Amino acid sequence: MSSKIKSIHARQIVDCKCRPMVEVDVVTEDGALGRGCAPTGSSVGKFESFVLRDNNPAEYNGLSVHHAVDNVNQIIAPALIGKDVHNQKEIDQIMIDLDGTSDKRKLGGNAIYSTSIAVLRAAAKAENLPLYNYLANGPIKTVPVPSFNIINGGHYENLTQPFNEFIIMPYGASTIYEAVEMGIRTFQELEKVITRYLGHKPSVAPSYGYVSPSEDPEENLKLIAQAIDACGYTGKIGFAFDCASSEMYDKDSNTYLLKGKRVAAEELIDYAKSLTENYPFVFIEDLLDEEDWDSYPKAHKAITRTVLLGDDFIVTNIERLKRAYELQAIDGFILKPNQVGTISEALDTFRFAKEHQLFATPSGRSGGVVGDVVMDLAVGLGIPFIKNGAPRSGERIDKLNFLMRACDLNPGCQLADISSLLKF
């Protein structure tokens, strides 16, 4: 029996927003097949690994990835043939060295990451194990509590809502099945609440939540609270934000957008603090700009009733996480392996977080895929809570079904109890 790589082949497919992406097949000498692909987010941190696109306006408006595909087939594949798929770190390092740039710009982070996933999946396949069991070194004991992105901010025709995602988390659910139902029922009830508020049905936002009905974040929270109460879930569902504040930050004036006006970081921090004192917030993500190293420690000191997480701020990069930890800037980070570009680097960042009592919260990307590897990571690494997106569209429903299926297939598996992690 041999788990050495026999062949590697890449192709172009499309993600769930119909944007081209790289998909890679890794096949071992024993015939174990691992397949990986690299979705791209809509809110993309400037320090993420580079997504190599062809920039040919005649094809997919410049978004095709044939160059990255060729880099896998012509450069990466020859270097990895004969390597054992169980040696993930060695294989990832070979690709990092082949590229030779700090952000994987030469070969493409999308080319390297897709190959890295495929190698990991081939290793699990060689052991005839589901990937999450391979990562867990055995049966899983818990599945994470899911969260649901139900109202989406951004620039719209009649208003701009600076906070990117309004999220609910059913922390009081007793099973994964109850947690999923609570999220879905609240999301469906919210449509009725917003319809009464606006006088017409809300539109669907690009990330599949409802278009924000107000530029006032607290107004949205009140509407969500109405939906939660109507479903009988008050005291069982908490709130969360992905502010994605880099999207609304103005570098020249060093200000943030809030309720139609520009404010300094201190005012934004005070506002977020007041919300956490009036609503049960599980976490707030990317409250500040990805380079606002001065303000994050101030926010972390001031805001004590919720967990502060970094996404664009950390980009799953261990050096950025170490710096944030030393500054006492955050409580944890959003784990998106494609941000850093290899499974090994993402796992190194996760291990640092775990060793230093920091949260690691896996999340898919807005241009998602069915069968996203982040779900295997979330379950296999024993993560307490995750981001799932809106309960609409196939790739997001797939993530919910993944959790229920994994729980059912592992006798004794339960929903993670996050009550001790809540700060409200």
Using one digit for the tens of pLDDT, what is the confidence trace for 319-336? 999 999 999 999 999 999
Task: Give pLDDT, residue 57.
Answer: 97
Model confidence, pTM: 0.95
The alpha carbon of 134 is separated from its chain's Cα centroid by a whole number of angstroms, namely 21
Per-residue confidence at 44, pLDDT binned at 50, 70, 90? Answer: low
**In the predicted structure, residue 43 carries a pLDDT above the cut 70:** no
- Measured distance CA(364)–CA(118) in Å, rounded: 17
Task: List the structure tokens of 20.
Answer: 């081209």
- Measured distance CA(288)–CA(286) in Å, rounded: 5
Using one digit for the tens of pLDDT, what is the confidence trace for 92-133? 999 999 999 999 999 999 999 999 999 999 999 999 999 999
Residues 6+ away with beta carbon under 8 Å from 306: 276, 281, 282, 283, 284, 423, 424
DSSP track, 30-76:
T--EEEEE----SS--TTSPP------TTTGGGT--HHHHHHIIIII
